[in-house]
Structure 1
Amino acid sequence: MSTQIREFIVNRQDFSKAQWVTRTAELEDGQVIAEIEKFALTANNITYAVAGDMLNYWAFFPAQEGWGKIPVWGFARVVQSKCPQIPVGERVFGYLPMANCLVMQPERINAGSFLDLYKQRRELHPVYNNYMRVTGPRAHEDLEPILRPLFTTSFLIDDWLADNGFFGAKQVISISASSKTGLGLGFGLSRRRPAAPAAIGLTSKGNKAFVEATGYFDKTVTYDDVASLDASIPTAVVDFAGNGEVLSAVHHHFRDNLVESTTVGLSHKDAPRAPGNLPGAKPHLFFAPDQMKKRNEEWGNEAYDRKVGEAWDAFATSAGKWMKLERSRGEAAIAKVYADMLAGRINPAEGHLLSLG
């Protein structure tokens, strides 16, 4: 039996050009079709598009030539199955396209999860191909697609910094502190007080009051006020914005006292990239799966999952106090939220949960 799949695709050269398309899929032995119940759209998903070629994000859900499907995180329910171990009705949480459903090929199945090794996804990073099998009610379920994948990255950055003694820094600057990953790092550092370096949030004038109100940062500074920070203090910077002008200003202000410079995201997707030969530590890209792999090997999978789960529960409880959930349904509504997200018109205190049906 064939299935009609409705999918949202974007032009890989001009993300403002987007459309809904339909294709037909056939279910083969060992495969399932999961109907996508709800997914989140955040600035992080725009980063997936901006870094799509560099980090191979377009490969997870291939589209026609010149177009791509931006991955999102969400919940889906199996509606057809030719895989005996994954019955109809099974719910999963993980990496999805913006679509009504997804054909999956579950393998390496255990009680809590499986890997989707469907065709093109077989050779891609297992961090993104791992799906959680959902049983029963979940605490903070509606926050999970919005915050949990980002918080896992935040947890790993925080852990990586601590694992390296914060590189000798006495303060950690988060550029784009209002981004959800930036807030997650701020929360992680706040839990280490007073042993951790001071957490400094760098953000826009419009988001300064919001960032301060979370209580995650010791100090919040606007982008045009970098010079107010004490340049004599050994400093690490974690850049969630990808704004070369802001990063350059930080490097030139702290110079040799900038002991670590890590790039994580591209929330300022249209901003110019940083020039080469900046003073201070050389900027480099943080790849979360590397630290995840290290900790799984050192702690064991069970202990790693427990530590992340405990930290997530604490963050979700806190975030539930400041996040406003916005729910949208249907093709037109999803396209509008995407356009607003692309244009930077989304309030950082909002979390957008979307569904087609």
Structure 2
Amino acid sequence: MPASWTFAVARDDLGRTTIAETTTPPLADGEALLRVDRVGLTANNVTYAVLGESMRYWQFFPGEPAGLDSRWGLPPVWGFAEVAASTTPGVEVGQRVYGYLPPAGHLVVRPGRVDATGFRDTAPHRADLPSPYNVYRATTGDDAYRADQEDLLILFRPLFFTSFMLADQIVDHDCYRAEALVLSSASSKTAYAAAFQLRGHGPRLIGLTSPGNVAFTESLGCYDRVLTYDQATDLDRVPTAYLDLSGAPATRAALREHLGDRLVRDIAVGLTNQIPNAAAAGEVFFAPVQMRKRRQDWGRDGLDQRFAAAWERFAVEVGAWLDVRDGTGPDGLRQAWLEVLEGRTSPRVGHIVTF
């Protein structure tokens, strides 16, 4: 059996890491072995680990096959992998796929619903986990794929889907008839990707961020105005929709007190309906709900085509300034993990690790 490895972090101390030497198991009928090729590391991956217990992110890739006990967790990453072996019809050796991967050299999946666009992992331990994370998109059947944009897809695609659906829902509701859209955590990928798509739809776009990120956020060119959080009370008292991507209670309280009934929408934004800022918000944006609506409106192909067109416009913008930092192997992965965990990564930098 070929040698492999698995990177893990201590669940009670995310700065403590280990690399376990492993072997790839023989495949049963209906399985495939993916060789993980290129992955990214962003603050999003740290969030998966922070919420590993409450949101069940640790369950996607159990550590037991690598000989790791429950004290260790495998923080999920996004990236590309190639089919190294397969006993599943329609899943061919050499096929390249994009999806949710372990921080490891290999992954055994049980492909189901195989078609030209890829497959889903139907492994029993993933059956009751959120389905968007179980999809593996074949590069040959993906409208958004371009070989020269792989790094951008790795770093931005999971968050861009949320941004795309968020912007679509806002426009679908006539921007809630707001004159201003205020986005917290404005320097985050999810926020500014949504802002790029909302430009030109009427309301002014205002970003709230920390003092250290003001210059970067202004340089993006997608916001009409950028304020620090403590300047939130400087906002004009006009009909305003608040898109909360930070979950900071103090910001919400300040906006409610300052805007009063001019705060026409207060929306918590996240990938799931259990995000920490959901309880205090007026409502929660849950991307799969808007996705299901648009699949009914446009069909799956129509949704994929619109997503690809929006992605291409965004990729041109972000590709002009993104600084990709390359790492190699498990040591490169550990170095990138610690840098991101400790907050030492500039928002202009994206970490890519090749295995």
Instruction: Indicate whether the TM-score tops 0.5.
Output: yes
- For the residues of structure 2 that align with 1:297 and 1:159, how far apart are their CA atoms? 14
Q: Which residue of 1 aligns with 2:159?
A: 150
Structure 1 45/263 Cα, relative in aligned 2: closer, same or farther at 3 Å? farther
Structure 1 294/274 Cα, relative in aligned 2: closer, same or farther at 3 Å? closer
Selected match of 2:124 from 98, 119, 122: 119
- For the residues of structure 2 that align with 1:152 and 1:125, how far apart are their CA atoms? 15
SS of the equivalent of 1:297 reads: helix
- For the residues of structure 1 that align with 2:94 and 2:193, how far apart are their CA atoms? 33
Q: Which residue of 2 aligns with 1:65?
A: 70
Q: Which residue of 2 aligns with 1:161?
A: 170
The one-letter amino acid paired with 1:154 is S
The answer on 1:109 being equivalent to 2:117 is no
Aligned-residue identity in percent: 39
Compare 41-50 and 92-101 and name the one that shifted more: 41-50
- For the residues of structure 2 that align with 1:105 and 1:49, how far apart are their CA atoms? 24
Selected match of 2:149 from 140, 156, 179: 140
- For the residues of structure 2 that align with 1:234 and 1:53, how far apart are their CA atoms? 39
Structure 2: segments with no counterpart, 5+ residues: 64-68
Given the two structures, how large is their TM-score scaled by the length of structure 2?
0.89
Q: Which residue of 1 aligns with 2:10?
A: 11
Structure 1 58/248 Cα, relative in aligned 2: closer, same or farther at 3 Å? farther
Q: Which residue of 2 aligns with 1:351?
A: 350
Cα displacement (A) at 1:318: 0.7
Q: Which residue of 1 aligns with 2:66?
A: none
Cα displacement (A) at 1:275: 11
Structure 1 275/74 Cα, relative in aligned 2: closer, same or farther at 3 Å? closer
Cα displacement (A) at 1:5: 4.0
Contact kept? 1:173, 1:238, Cα under 8 Å: yes
Q: Which residue of 2 aligns with 1:330?
A: 329
The answer on 1:197 being equivalent to 2:196 is no
The answer on 1:130 being equivalent to 2:135 is yes
Selected match of 1:180 from 166, 180, 189: 189
SS of the equivalent of 2:246 reads: coil
Equivalence map 1:1-357=2 (5 Å): 2-24=1-23, 25-63=25-63, 64-135=69-140, 138-190=147-199, 193=200, 195-230=201-236, 232-264=237-269, 282-355=281-354, 357=355
Structure 1 112/274 Cα, relative in aligned 2: closer, same or farther at 3 Å? closer
Q: Which residue of 2 aligns with 1:270?
A: none
Q: May I ask how many residue pairs the two structures share in their alignment?
A: 341
Structure 1 96/317 Cα, relative in aligned 2: closer, same or farther at 3 Å? same
- For the residues of structure 2 that align with 1:104 and 1:163, how far apart are their CA atoms? 37
Structure 1: segments with no counterpart, 5+ residues: 267-272
- For the residues of structure 2 that align with 1:59 and 1:349, how far apart are their CA atoms? 31
Contact kept? 1:214, 1:322, Cα under 8 Å: no
